[in-house]
A and B are shown apart, each in its own frame.
Chain A
Amino acid sequence: MTKRERKTLTRIAASFVLLIAAVLLDLEGYWRLLSFLIPYAVIGWDVLYAAVRNILRGQVFDENFLMSIATVGAMATGEYPEGVAVMLFYQVGELFQSYAVGKSRKSISELMDIRPDYANVMRAGEVQTVDPDEVAVGEVILIRPGERIPLDGRVIDGSTTVNNAALTGESLPADINSGDTVISGAINLSGVIQVEVQCTFGESTVSKILELVERAASRKAKAEAFITRFARYYTPVVVICAVLLALVPPLLLGLEWHTWFYRALVFLVVSCPCALVISVPLSFFGGIGGASRHGILVKGANYLEALAATKTVVFDKTGTLTEGKFHVAALNPAEGTREQLLEYAAYAECYSNHPISLSVKAEYGKELDTGRVSETEELAGRGIRAVVDGKVIHAGNTKLMDSIGVVWSQADTAGTMIHVAVDGVYQGSIVIADRIKSDAAEAIGRLRKAGVERIVMLTGDRAAVGKEVGAELGLDEVCAELLPADKVTAVERLLGAKSPKSTLTFVGDGINDAPVLTRADVGVAMGAMGSDAAIEAADIVLMDDKLSNLADAMAISKKTLGIVRQNIVFALGIKAAVLILAAAGWANMWLAVFADVGVSVIAILNAMRALNVPKHNS
Chain B
Amino acid sequence: MKKTFKLQDLDCANCAAKMEAGVKKINGVSDATISFLTQKLTIEADDARFEEIMDEAVKVCRKVEPDCVILR
- The docked-state distance in angstroms from the alpha carbon of A54 to that of B18 is 13
Interface size on A, residues (CB 8 A): 28
Contact indicator B14/A274 (Cβ below 8 Å): yes
- Choose one: B13, B35, B63, B66; the contact of A218 (CB below 8 Å): B35
- The docked-state distance in angstroms from the alpha carbon of A273 to that of B17 is 11
Contact indicator A231/B12 (Cβ below 8 Å): no
- The docked-state distance in angstroms from the alpha carbon of A443 to that of B23 is 44
**Chain A, 207-261, CB within 8 A of any chain B CB:** 214-215, 217-220, 228, 231-232
User: Which residues in A have their C-beta under 8 angstroms from that of B11?
Assistant: 98
Q: Could you say which interface size class chain B belongs to?
A: 10 to 19
Contact indicator A281/B64 (Cβ below 8 Å): no
- Choose one: B12, B13, B40; the contact of A217 (CB below 8 Å): B40
Q: Smallest CB–CB gap between A116 and chain B, Å? A: 21
Contact indicator A58/B38 (Cβ below 8 Å): no
Contact indicator A273/B38 (Cβ below 8 Å): no
- The docked-state distance in angstroms from the alpha carbon of A41 to that of B38 is 33
At the interface, yes or no: B36 with Cβ under 8 Å from chain A?
Answer: yes
User: Which residues in B have their C-beta under 8 angstroms from that of A273?
Assistant: 14
At the interface, yes or no: A448 with Cβ under 8 Å from chain B?
Answer: no
Contact indicator A220/B21 (Cβ below 8 Å): no
In the complex with contacts A53-B66, A59-B64, A231-B14 CB distance below 8 A:
yes
At the interface, yes or no: A285 with Cβ under 8 Å from chain B?
Answer: yes
- The docked-state distance in angstroms from the alpha carbon of A232 to that of B16 is 12
Contact indicator B66/A231 (Cβ below 8 Å): no
User: Which residues in B have their C-beta under 8 angstroms from that of A214?
Assistant: 38, 40
User: Which residues in A have their C-beta under 8 angstroms from that of B12?
Assistant: 63, 274
Q: Classify the secondary structure of A's interface with B.
A: helix
At the interface, yes or no: B37 with Cβ under 8 Å from chain A?
Answer: yes
User: Which residues in B have their C-beta under 8 angstroms from that of A105?
Assistant: 37-38
Map CB proximity to B onto A268-281 as digits: 1 under 8 Å, 0 otherwise.
00001110011001
Contact indicator A277/B13 (Cβ below 8 Å): yes
Q: Smallest CB–CB gap between A367 and chain B, Å? A: 49
Contact indicator B40/A218 (Cβ below 8 Å): yes
- Choose one: B21, B33, B63; the contact of A59 (CB below 8 Å): B63
User: Which residues in B have their C-beta under 8 angstroms from that of A231?
Assistant: 14, 17
User: Which residues in A have their C-beta under 8 angstroms from that of B36?
Assistant: 277-278, 281
User: Which residues in A have their C-beta under 8 angstroms from that of B42?
Assistant: 215, 218
User: Which residues in A have their C-beta under 8 angstroms from that of B4?
Assistant: 218
Q: Taking each of A50, A63, A277, which has the highest tally of chain B beta carbons within 10 Å of its own beta carbon?
A: A277
**Chain B, 3-58, CB within 8 A of any chain A CB:** 4, 11-14, 16-17, 20-21, 33, 35-38, 40, 42
Contact indicator A217/B35 (Cβ below 8 Å): yes
- The docked-state distance in angstroms from the alpha carbon of A63 to that of B16 is 13
At the interface, yes or no: A7 with Cβ under 8 Å from chain B?
Answer: no
- The docked-state distance in angstroms from the alpha carbon of A232 to that of B12 is 14
User: Which residues in B have their C-beta under 8 angstroms from that of A274?
Assistant: 12-14
User: Which residues in A have their C-beta under 8 angstroms from that of B66?
Assistant: 50, 53-54, 57
Q: Smallest CB–CB gap between B68 and chain A, Å? A: 12
User: Which residues in B have their C-beta under 8 angstroms from that of A101?
Assistant: 37
Q: Please name the residue on chain A nearest to B33 by beta carbon.
A: A218
User: Which residues in B have their C-beta under 8 angstroms from that of A277?
Assistant: 13-14, 16-17, 36
Q: Smallest CB–CB gap between A302 and chain B, Å? A: 11
User: Which residues in A have their C-beta under 8 angstroms from that of B20?
Assistant: 228
Q: Please name the residue on chain B nearest to A275 by beta carbon.
A: B13
Contact indicator A58/B63 (Cβ below 8 Å): yes
- The docked-state distance in angstroms from the alpha carbon of A231 to that of B12 is 13
**Chain A, 256-315, CB within 8 A of any chain B CB:** 272-274, 277-278, 281-282, 285
Contact indicator B63/A281 (Cβ below 8 Å): no
User: Which residues in A have their C-beta under 8 angstroms from that of B13?
Assistant: 274, 277-278, 281
- The docked-state distance in angstroms from the alpha carbon of A212 to that of B71 is 21
Q: Smallest CB–CB gap between A560 and chain B, Å? A: 14
- Choose one: A59, A217, A278; the contact of B38 (CB below 8 Å): A217
User: Which residues in B have their C-beta under 8 angstroms from that of A98?
Assistant: 11
Known contacts A98-B11, A277-B17, A285-B38; 9 additional CB pairs below 8 A are A50-B66, A217-B38, A218-B42, A219-B33, A220-B33, A231-B14, A277-B36, A281-B35, A285-B37
A-B contact pairs, 20 of them (CB 8 A): A53-B66, A54-B66, A57-B63, A59-B64, A105-B38, A108-B37, A217-B35, A217-B37, A218-B33, A218-B35, A219-B33, A228-B17, A231-B14, A232-B17, A273-B14, A274-B14, A281-B35, A281-B36, A281-B37, A285-B38
Please list the 4 inter-chain residue pairs (A to B) with the smallest Cβ-Cβ separation, ordered nearest first: A278-B13, A217-B35, A218-B33, A277-B13
